[in-house]
A and B are shown apart, each in its own frame.
Chain A
């Protein structure tokens, strides 16, 4: 036990040190900011569930059935999420962390290392789901007027559900690492996870849930209820968890305690089995993980022609960076799922416009089409900001410890940042313009709106990419073990706030003049000189803001990265 605590100690101390040492003011301000956001999100979940359950509860018979079905769906979703995040975390903590060679050189048993890492992995994978399951089940407790018994049962089964998922993941990972090196398993799992997510997005979207709000198709709601049936075999732990919570909700103590008992004993048994297996299987698996797997895909060449020649138009040093960036990006398997998800979301985005029931609204269609088109500029820019946050913001930090190569190379930091900027600017410009043009074609908007959308996006793309590149440089972290995740830090949050602020400002500046021009066109009236001046000034200010966002953050980034 003492060894186990000693092995967990560095993790706990590192977390405490990051709070108590260094720039305290900075750390606490981040903590307050993220804590506040978390609390808001928590309160939001509570409000939504409370309102939905209140509505369900008010519908006689049918409402309570739906509320109960909801519990089984939530439990199954939480369990799948826990299982997936535990497997990914187990692989990282047990086989891939940089400090593992040091730990294995210490005079401690492999079993102790396994358990200390398994506990950390279980905590990392579970705390967020536990925290955000609380408002969900709290709203159930309030709506169904339960007592302390329900909360005790809910807390117990939720904690042991996390343990079951963690122990199952540990066992799966132990077996998996016997067959394949851990790095390869993680790649395959990440791909499978992304694939599952994409299939889920497509299935959910193409079932067209918006039809369920249409009273004409009420029969399909009954069918929908049937479809809500979740796997409920009596041998599945999710069934015991669901049954325990449902019984506690109805104050059926005997059933609740029986199912909670099943959950607790099953969790303990799994932890014991994983401990037994780890004794014999952990170290051989770790040893195997130290080998580098062969490359998954061979380089893309056709009869001596390679894709790099397509970049020959670039200046030599820019091409060198471009080729390096593209190669490292596509060879990093953690980037692939993000790309797949992004593609899926774009397809869904465009599909949404193709199924808008414009003709069924009483408002004049031409007006509605153009309002949608105008809002679409903001939506496309928001998608762009999210993509930039994930891919462009971490681009400078992705150089990681190899940044000395850039620093010692005969390239100025300014050039380096502009090369990064253009590398992302071109594909993102194509993506954003593609999105607005395709959705505008589906909306059949006027030529003026089409031109306005294309021009606004033309100025917003460099602004958002410049903001992401510049702030990514200002808040660069070259020591991070996972640079792609730096977007979740303070700099990433600042980028999101500033980019959404910029998009909102541009849209607000354009909205007034666009409405005036549009209405004048519809009504066949001429614009007054004052209105023309107003439009020109508004558009000029919007362009100025975009140019400022393009250049100023990169200037700040250059100043931050220039040697000191």
Chain B
């Protein structure tokens, strides 16, 4: 469902992403981990259509993002790392705005919006302006908006930032349920325990290059570690610069 081929982003002074190739299948949760400045957010922004690659291609659900970005974006639910929203809209109005852009069936919208707002514990805040929301509430609202059009592909940058433990638990369950119903999920995170709990496969990026990829078990083999946590695997691969 997601295919990145030789994806490169050169900012002139730095190559943020260097010939990155990977594939994520339908129903799979792919964790994208790496240290600060590794190129995670740049990759995600290119996948979301916010940044154009210097070279290489991104194919989303069979659609080449360079050729038909609008069609590609229709399939994506995008959640950025920082929750900037239209502060002067209410939560419900923002969902309505998203629903109109993503062509959610009019008859389905009220029920769906209510269900999502209740699910993300925002129902009582639905008619308050977003400027009154906390960081975590804005993050939950963005995730709710991203799910409104039942996206085939969900791209999330740091999904748990600003969420309380209960919300983290809830989001994890939602992502697992979505994957079970064949939604492709691409998650970038710093929180290794989340990647460990949630992801079917994990890609480790460092200095713009994919160093290792596979299930937790496969990564342990690459790092030549036995019963280790992802954190140890991560540190070993980064330290040894082990390539795929």
Contacts and interface: CB of A to CB of B under 8 A. Distances in A.
Interface string B36-78: 0000000000001111100000000000000001110110101
A398 to B, nearest CB: 10
A407 interface: yes
Given A295-B129, A407-B49, A408-B76, A331 B88 contact: yes
Interface string B207-242: 000000000000000000000000000000000000
B97 A323 contact: yes
Contacts, number: 77
Interface in B93-109: 93, 96-98, 100-103
Contacts of A402: 84-87
A364 interface: no
Interface in A283-302: 292, 295, 299
Contact of A412 (B52, B70, B96, B102): B70
Interface string A399-417: 0111011011111100000
B88 A327 contact: yes
A405 B162 CA distance: 19
A408 B78 contact: yes
B161 interface: no
A389 B149 CA distance: 37
B100 A319 contact: yes
A320 B129 contact: no
A320 B109 CA distance: 14
B49 A316 contact: no
B100 A320 contact: yes
B85 A405 contact: yes
A319 B131 CA distance: 23
A411 B78 CA distance: 14
B97 A320 contact: yes
A328 interface: yes
B162 to A, nearest CB: 15
A61 interface: no
A128 to B, nearest CB: 30
A401 B71 CA distance: 24
Nearest to B106: A316
A563 B52 contact: yes
A216 interface: no
Contacts of B98: 405, 409
Given A320-B97, A323-B97, A408 B48 contact: yes
A404 B84 contact: yes
B132 interface: yes
Point out which of B84, B103, B132 has the most chain A C-beta atoms below 10 A from its C-beta: B84
B80 A404 contact: yes
A27 to B, nearest CB: 20
A324 B73 contact: no
Contacts of A320: 96-97, 100-101
A312 to B, nearest CB: 11
Contacts of B71: 410
B73 A410 contact: yes
A54 B100 CA distance: 66
B125 to A, nearest CB: 12
B80 A410 contact: no
Contacts of A13: none
B86 A328 contact: yes
A410 B132 contact: no
B78 A324 contact: no
A401 B98 CA distance: 17
Nearest to B84: A401
A415 B74 CA distance: 15
A408 B85 CA distance: 13
A401 B83 CA distance: 9
For the complex of A and B, 5 pairs with smallest distance between CB atoms:
A320-B100, A401-B84, A292-B132, A331-B88, A410-B73
29 contacts: A292-B131, A292-B132, A317-B103, A319-B100, A320-B96, A320-B97, A320-B100, A323-B97, A324-B89, A324-B93, A324-B97, A327-B88, A327-B89, A328-B88, A328-B89, A402-B86, A404-B50, A407-B50, A408-B49, A408-B78, A408-B80, A409-B98, A409-B101, A409-B102, A410-B101, A411-B70, A411-B101, A563-B49, A563-B69
Interface of B: 48-52, 69-71, 73-74, 76, 78, 80, 82, 84-89, 93, 96-98, 100-103, 127, 129, 131-132
